[in-house]
Amino acid sequence: MSKRDYYEVLGVEKGADVKDIKKAYRRVAMKYHPDRNPDAPDADEKFKEATEAYEILSDSEKRQAYDQYGHAGVDPQMGAGGGFSGANFSDIFGDVFGDIFGGGGGRGRGGPQRGSDLRYTLDISLEDAVRGTTVQIRVPTLTACDVCDGSGAKAGSEPKNCGTCGGVGQVRMQQGFFQVQQTCPTCRGKGKIISDPCNKCHGHGRVEETKTLSVKVPPGVDTGDRIRLSGEGEAGPDGGPAGDLFVQMSVKDHPIFERDGKHLYCEVPITFGDAALGGELEVPTLDGRVKLKIPAGTQTGKLFRLRGKGVTPVRGGSPGDLLCRAVVETPVNLTKRQKELLAELQESMGGTDKHAPRQSSWFEGVKNFFDDMKL
C-alpha cells in the first residue's frame, strides 16, 4: 500500500481537528469509492489508502505516534500498535457513511416503536368556542389487543428471537469490498417471530376500534387551535407506547357575528329616520342584548365599539370588543303619501350642501378629476 503522507492523502493540514479529518475522508472516500468508479483501476487502492489514513489520524494515540515516528510508528510489523485492519473497516465505514447506508456496524435495533399520532377536526359553534364546552368524540384508531396485551402471540406462548438476525432486526450484507447493514427480511426489522399468533389480532398485536373520548374545550379557542390528548393516538406495534391525539378546532360561521382574533364584528341595520334623527336600538351580544345609542346624522359604515363584549383569548389577556357597523336602510314599499312626504323633504333640502356634506365633497372631487384630465 502507498506510503504517502496521511495528511496529504486526505488533503488536510497537520493541525486539523477530528471533525475536519472526518469531513476530508468522506470527500475523498466518496470520490474514489469502488462502486462509483468501476472503470478506474486505481480507485480501489486510493479508497483503501484514504481509509487507512482516516483510521490513523482519527485516533489520538495512533496520530501522536504517526506525528512522532511517521509510518514506522503505526506499522504493526515494526511493533507499533494500530495500522489498517480489515476487521475494523466496517466500524470506520459505518461511522462516516452511516447517514447514507442506514447506520454503522454493530448497532442493535431500538426499543418498541411509538404509535402514530392522530388528528381529529372538531367543528364547534362560536358560542361554544367563546364560552368553552365539553364534547364527546368518536375516534377510529388502532388499540393494543386485550387478549395478547399487544404481543401478537397466542395466550401461553410468546414471540421468539428471529433465527436470521438473532433478534437484532438487521442483517449485514456483503456488497463487494464492504458490508452494509439492512433490515432483516425474515422478521422485517422486528427481531421477533410469532409462530403461534393470537386469534383476535392475528399476530399484529393491534386491533381496529372506535374510542369514545371526552374533550374539554377551554374558553376562547379559535380555528386552528389544537388540544393534545396524550396517549390517545394509535397503539405502538409490538407493545410500544401509544401516540397522541390532536383535536384541532374549526369554529363554524355565525349568522350574526364575525370573529377576528379576540374581537367580534356585526352589522346593525338602522332605519332612515333613526340615522337622521338619532335614536336607541337593542343589539345582540354573546351575553345578551344591550342598548346602543344612535346619534343624529349617523352614516353607513360608522363603527360603534362595545368594550369587553368580544372574546377572552384562550391564552389569557383582556377580552376583546364588539364592533357594530351601522348600515342605513333605504325605505322600500312606500305608500303614495310617504313618497309625497319624502319628495317634500327632498325639495326642502335642495340646493344646500349642509344636509349632504359627503355628497357635495364627492362631486367636487369628481369635478377636479375631470378638470385635471383636460390639462
Mind listing the pLDDT tens digit for each residue in 178-232? 667 788 888 877 788 888 888 888 888 889 999 999 999 999 999 999 999 999 9
Q: Are residues 52 and 82 in the same domain?
A: yes
Backbone φ, ψ for residue 268 (5° rounding): -120, 110
- Percentage of residues in the chain having pLDDT higher than 90: 34
Q: Are residues 24 and 81 in the same domain?
A: yes
Q: Which of 252, 283, 299 is the last residue of a domain?
A: 252
pLDDT greater than 90 at residue 236:
no
The phi and psi torsions of 50 (rounded to 5 degrees) equal -65, -40
Residue 106 lies in a domain: no
Residue 115 belongs to domain with CATH number: 2.60.260.20
For residues 204 and 121, membership in a common domain is answered with yes
How far apart are the C-alpha atoms of 149 and 235, rounded to whole Å? 11
- Position 341 in a domain: no
Q: Give 321's DSSP letter.
A: -
176 has a pLDDT exceeding 80: no
Q: Which residues pair with 245 in a beta bridge?
A: 118, 229
Identify the domain containing residue 35 by its residue range: 6-101
pLDDT in tens, 318-351: 999 999 999 999 888 999 999 999 888 888 877 5
* Domain shared by 242 and 269, yes or no: no
The answer on pLDDT for 158 being more than 60 is yes
Domain identity same for 211 and 284: no
Whether 334 is covered by a domain: the verdict is no
300 and 264 fall within a common domain: yes
Whether residue 235 sits in one domain with residue 123: yes
Better-predicted residue by pLDDT, 232 or 55: 232
Q: Does 217 share its domain with 85?
A: no
Q: What was the pLDDT predicted at 6?
A: 87
pLDDT for 107? 37
- In this structure, the answer to whether residues 144 and 206 fall within a common structural domain is yes
Asked whether residue 223 falls in the same domain as residue 131, the answer is yes
Instruction: For residues 239-247, give the mean pLDDT.
Output: 89
Query: What angle, rounded to 10 degrees, do the helices at 60-69 and 43-57 form?
Result: 100
Number of domains observed in the structure of the chain: 5
* Mean of pLDDT over the chain: 81
pLDDT, residue 120, reads 93
In 3D space, the residue among 149, 146, 162 whose CA is nearest the CA of residue 194 turns out to be 162
Would 339 be classed as within a structural domain? no
The predicted pLDDT at position 74 comes to: 72
Give me the mean pLDDT over the 296-313 stretch.
93
SS3 annotation, 60-99: HHHHHHHHHHHHHHHCHHHCCCCCCCHHHHHHHHHHHHHH
Give residue 26's pLDDT band: very low, low, confident or very high (50, 70, 90). Answer: confident
The band of 34, judged by pLDDT with boundaries at 50, 70 and 90, is low
- Point out the least confidently predicted range of 11-25, 112-126, 339-353: 339-353
